């Protein structure tokens, strides 16, 4: 299982943000929109090294212990949606699996599998409308229709 280091914090530390906003406001009314200025400074003007240094400086100030677990995020395994034809009935059935389905792991239930799907709605569309449908042949086709939304799907004859 790979370990992903968090080297580029997405949001500025609270204390840095408060210091920046109060510093801009102390310059007077000549400089407007202090929140926009601080946001632009953090996201566009500061380098990744400067942002890491600011984060480190403000974590020390808050008294946060800086051990390895502070900057290491372990990827979580999540169940993904798949569709497969039931061996008994032949109908497409939705199912979830943490691993990619193989003949050994899922062959007793399904002849083959389609997926993984990003959303459950995409898998549901494929399960209900994918069999023998020339407009719905791939995972990306099903996800395209899922992004259209439930209202659009119902207006256009999809039963989901």
pLDDT of 71 > 70? The answer is no
User: Which secondary-structure segment (H or E) carries 151?
Assistant: helix 150-155
* Per-residue pLDDT band at 85 (split at 50, 70, 90): very high
What is the average pLDDT across 119-142? 91
Question: Per-residue pLDDT for 98 more than 60?
Answer: yes
Quick check: 101 pLDDT over 80? yes
CB–CB of 9/51 below 8 Å?
yes
2-5: long-range contacts, CB 8 A cutoff, minimum separation 24: 2/75, 3/72, 3/73, 3/74, 4/72, 4/73, 4/74, 4/75, 5/71, 5/72
Q: Report pTM.
A: 0.52
Over residues 69-90, the mean pLDDT reads: 78
Name the token pair of 51: 């942002």
pLDDT per position as a tens digit, 38-54 = 888 888 888 888 888 88
Residue 6's pLDDT is what?
47
Q: With contact defined as beta carbons under 8 Å apart, do 36 and 77 qualify?
A: no
- DSSP string covering 68-117: GGGSEEPPPP--EEEEEEBTTT--EEEEEESS---HHHHTTTBS--EEEE
pLDDT of residue 7: 47
């Amino acid at each position: 299982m790979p370990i992903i280091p968090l080297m580029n914090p997405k949001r500025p530390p609270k204390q840095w943000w408060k210091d920046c906003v109060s510093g801009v406001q102390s310059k007077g009314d000549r400089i407007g929109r202090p929140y926009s200025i601080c946001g632009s400074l953090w996201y566009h003007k500061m380098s990744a090294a400067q942002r890491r240094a600011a984060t480190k400086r403000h974590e020390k100030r808050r008294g946060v212990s800086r051990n390895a677990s502070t900057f290491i995020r372990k990827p979580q395994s999540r169940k993904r949606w798949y569709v497969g034809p039931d061996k008994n009935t032949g109908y497409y059935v939705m199912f979830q699996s943490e691993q990619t389905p193989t003949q050994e792991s899922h062959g007793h239930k399904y002849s083959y599998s389609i997926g993984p799907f990003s959303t459950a709605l995409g898998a549901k569309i494929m399960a209900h409308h994918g069999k023998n449908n020339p407009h719905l042949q791939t995972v990306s086709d099903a996800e395209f229709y899922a992004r259209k939304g439930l209202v659009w799907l119902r207006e256009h004859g999809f039963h989901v």
